[in-house]
């Protein structure tokens, strides 16, 4: 097993068991999670989505996405975030009812798929935002 696959397997197992394991230390209370994260996420119809996500201590967020190579490709969203019961994943809630999930790591956010699972495969490393 490659190191990247092992890490993905471990993180997936942690996410799957997170609801069962009650641990006093989690990303929410043990990591310095608030701050600004940046990265370029993959895009189906553009060269990438330049992403800046600010997570605030008060539970709010500001998300700015710039779709590279597209006119009028700037999107700004803000709202409240919610933590899962395990304290390791945040959900960005939007007024339109949609949401985006990120697994919170040490100085990194891992974008999750629509089912809340870690993205795997060749592009997995492209779904990470780094803290400034």
Q: What are the average pLDDT values for consecutive 10-residue runs of the chain, which has 132 residues? A: 57 52 67 93 93 96 94 89 94 86 96 95 95 95
For position 121, what pLDDT does the model report? Answer: 92
> Has domain 34-131 been given CATH number 1.20.1250.20?
no
Q: Smallest Cα–Cα separation from 27: which of 80, 81, 73, 70? A: 81
CA angle 73, 118, 4 (to 5 degrees): 110
pTM of the model: 0.78
For position 14, what pLDDT does the model report? Answer: 54
Q: Residue 117, Cα to own-chain centre: how many angstroms?
A: 11
For position 19, what pLDDT does the model report? Answer: 46
Distances in whole angstroms, Cα of residue 57 to Cα of each of 80, 93, 105 = 11, 16, 16
Domain spans, the chain: 34-131
Q: Is 87 exposed, middle or buried (0-12, 13-18, 19+ CB in 10 A)?
A: buried
């Amino acid at each position: 097993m490659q190191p990247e696959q092992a890490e993905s397997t471990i993180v997936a197992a942690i996410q799957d068991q997170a609801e069962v394991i009650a641990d006093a230390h989690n990303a929410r209370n043990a990591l310095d999670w608030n701050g600004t994260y940046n990265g370029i996420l993959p895009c189906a119809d553009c060269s990438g989505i330049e992403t800046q996500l600010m997570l605030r201590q008060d539970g709010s967020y500001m998300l700015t996405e710039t779709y590279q190579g597209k006119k009028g490709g700037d999107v700004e969203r803000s709202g409240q975030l919610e933590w899962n019961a395990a304290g390791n994943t945040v959900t960005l809630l939007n007024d339109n009812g949609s949401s985006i999930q990120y697994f919170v790591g040490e100085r990194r956010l891992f974008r999750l798929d629509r089912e809340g699972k870690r993205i795997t495969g060749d592009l997995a490393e492209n779904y990470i935002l780094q803290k400034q």
